[in-house]
Amino acid sequence: MGYKITRVFVDNHVKKKAIVKDFIEKSKPRKIIFTDQAHVKEGLKTYPFDDGKRSVFLSQSKGRYFKTCPGMEKPYICCNLGVLNIISNCPMSCSYCFLQFYLNSPVTTVHTDFSRVTSELKVTSKAHPEIFFRVTTGELSDSLALDRETGFSARLIEIFKDIPNAILELKTKTSFVNHLLRLNHGGRTVISWSLNPQRVIDKEEKGTASLEKRITTASKAQEAGYLLGFHFDPLIHYPQWEKDYEETVKLLFEKVSPFRIAWISLGSLRFAPGMEEEIKRAHPSSKLPYGEMVVASCGKKRYVKPIRLRLYQKMIDWIKKYGGQDVLVYLCMETPEAWEKTMSFKPESTAHLDFVFAESLHQRFEYLFTKKPLLNDYLKGMEYKGLE
């Protein structure tokens, strides 16, 4: 599976890099435009969104690439995932995606200074040997959507194999994993899929792989020894949601062993201010902006609490029913109250949840660790949040 790139903008500062030449050779765009950053950012403001989806800007950033997920402030609890922002934006077109509103450019930006990305990662993980880092490239993009052109994932898998206190998570909605199956990953890469019932995929996740394909591909990755992750995020509330989501969970565990699942996340649909109006415009057939939502204390619009809790509770029940009791399930960007009401447990803080992850992974996949994780290290280690 690949995405046709029609236009490549190249930042004049990086035009001589081998990675740029390589990207252009593999993507074979109709048009290559050499330009500067400011021009691209300004010139593309009035670009039609879909046109931007087929355009890539090869550039470099002055800021850091390795950060922690911006998450949310108290009372919401986040999982403290590390993010490598090496690609920003994505060629797929999910109606609910925050990227189309969060990023100020309609084109997908691929950062070409890979060596800086890896050095930031190595320096930070070495400076905090007591912390176990979960790191993804799938925060501001789909980790695998442009892998054919960039080859980034294979290179990262190779790097993570030798970092003793980190694990890589490649988040995707594609079925593009064949190029990764024969790699020596050392069990330090989780390939994870965002899952939704096929009915939701058809309506809201344009340009992505089908549910069947995602799960079949996950099973292939599992056979190749990779750990797996799944993200039921965003959970969508609609008339047939219970039947559809239960079938989805059932299908997942028919094809995939729960013992190789590193984690499953649950998150309900949420909109940043103004985003629902943009969805109405950019995706007029989508029903998502008309859900029963209120502005929560985080300032985002979310389903009303009784609906959110019911979505989570049902999903947890089905995951336990079909996948057993030992799968690590977590809530993404939720309140301690939501945790307590649905899981009978609540992390005290983001650092605590980070530790819960490490502890659970240590219990199930001890080979990933050189020492047993300690809660105090994580509570102190919040300072490493200052990755900025």
SS3 230: strand
CB of 277 or CB of 326, closer to another protein: 277
Q: Which residues contact 231 (CB under 8 A, 6 or more apart)?
A: 171, 192, 193, 194, 195, 264, 265, 267, 332
Diameter over CA atoms, the chain: 56
Residue type at 149? E
CB of 63 or CB of 306, closer to another protein: 306
User: x/- site string to another protein, residues 38 to 57, per CB under 8 A?
Assistant: --------x-----------
171: closest CA among 272, 257, 79, 274? 79
Distance, first Cα to last Cα, the chain: 35
- Token pair listed for 49: 């969104």
Stretch that binds another protein, among 51-59, 132-140, 252-260, 301-309 (CB under 8 A): 301-309
Q: Taking CB under 8 A as the rule, does residue 239 contact another protein?
A: no
Q: Taking CB under 8 A as the rule, does residue 240 contact another protein?
A: no
Question: How many CB atoms are closer than 10 A to CB 197?
Answer: 22
Stretch that binds another protein, among 102-110, 192-200, 292-300, 370-378 (CB under 8 A): 292-300
Looking only at residues 262 through 291 of this chain, which bind another protein when binding is defined by CB under 8 A? 277, 280-281, 287, 289-290
Length of the chain as a residue count: 388
Q: Taking CB under 8 A as the rule, does residue 306 contact another protein?
A: yes
Looking only at residues 326 through 345 of this chain, which bind another protein when binding is defined by CB under 8 A? 337
Q: Taking CB under 8 A as the rule, does residue 294 contact another protein?
A: yes
CB of 34 or CB of 290, closer to another protein: 290
Q: How many residues bind another protein (CB under 8 A)?
A: 17
Q: Tell me how far apart the alpha carbons of residues 299 and 336 are, in angstroms, rounded to a whole number.
A: 17
Q: Taking CB under 8 A as the rule, does residue 202 contact another protein?
A: no
| 191 close to 256: Cβ distance less than 8 angstroms | no
Out of 297, 324, 326, 348, point to the residue binding another protein (CB under 8 A). 297
- Token pair listed for 282: 């950019």
Pairing of strands 93-94, 205-206: antiparallel
Contacting positions for another protein (CB under 8 A): 46, 277, 280-281, 287, 289-290, 292, 294-297, 304-307, 337
